[in-house]
A = this chain, B = another copy of it.
Amino acid sequence: MPKGIPVATIARLPLYLRALRLLSDRGVKLVSSEDLANSTAVRSTKLRKDLSYLGSYGVRGVGYEVDYLIHQIARVMGLTQDWPVILIGIGNLGQALAGYGGFATRGFKVRALLDSDPMKVGTQIGDQEVQHINQLEKVIGENPNCIAVLAVPENAAQTICDRIVSAGVTSILNFVPTVLQVPDEVEMRKVDLSIELQILAFYEQRKLAQPTELENRA
């Protein structure tokens, strides 16, 4: 696996991958860096730089081979194997995540659903039955290298997070709107819906405070 790929490049590779898969589905064999850049809202110079980290340079006037580039990116990203996902917290959001199509189609298999609510334990969501949270350590033991998706209530989050880490999980996708402490060797990606909205509110307010050129001219 190539080393020293910048973090920002890693974050863009899934965008290229998705655009390339759409092209492949439409039977497209070759794509120029300009066209691929346009469909991913990245500058073409940046795209070429990103792909050069994979040892992929394309051919001048011809472009990149779509299926080969898909294979290269998927291999670098670790997506040529299936990753087990353990989903913890089956509230509204957890139920939505359990049914989220984007997981299965990209090589992620939801292997277990866990909740502490006796009303939820034993219910069926998709092809999985919700298990009691006291099965957490057992389930993690049965799914080496699993990714834990955390969608529990805020007040339970750090305790559950500590149990996940103690059981050996090193990758966590966190939906809980609170700051969670994890050791340095644990990778945590955080999704917080209210924070994204707050950032939008800032820009919305700024637009209101500073009328656009069009409005100034009117």
A interface with B by C-beta (< 8 Å): 1, 10-11, 13-15, 17-19, 39-41, 76-79, 83, 85, 91-93, 95-97, 99-100, 102-103, 105-108, 145, 147, 170-173, 177-179, 181, 185, 187, 189, 191-209, 212
**Contacting residues, chain B, for A194 (C-beta < 8 A):** 14, 100, 102-103, 105-106, 108
24 contacts between A and B (CB under 8 A): A10-B199, A13-B202, A14-B194, A18-B179, A77-B205, A78-B201, A92-B99, A93-B96, A95-B96, A96-B96, A97-B193, A102-B194, A103-B193, A106-B194, A145-B208, A170-B204, A171-B200, A172-B200, A173-B200, A187-B200, A189-B196, A189-B200, A191-B193, A191-B196
Instruction: Give the chain B neighbours of A92 by CB distance below 8 A.
Output: 95-96, 99-100
A186 to B195, CA, bound (A): 18
Distance from A139 Cβ to chain B, minimum over Cβ atoms (Å): 17
Number of copies: 2
CB distance from A171 to the nearest CB of B (A): 4
Query: B179–A40 contact, CB under 8 A?
Result: yes
Q: Which 7 A-B pairs have the closest CB atoms?
A: A78-B205, A102-B194, A96-B96, A92-B96, A14-B198, A171-B200, A93-B96
Measured in the bound complex, the distance between the Cα atoms of B19 and A194 in whole Å is 14
Q: Determine if B10 and A193 form an interchain contact, defined as CB atoms under 8 angstroms apart.
A: no
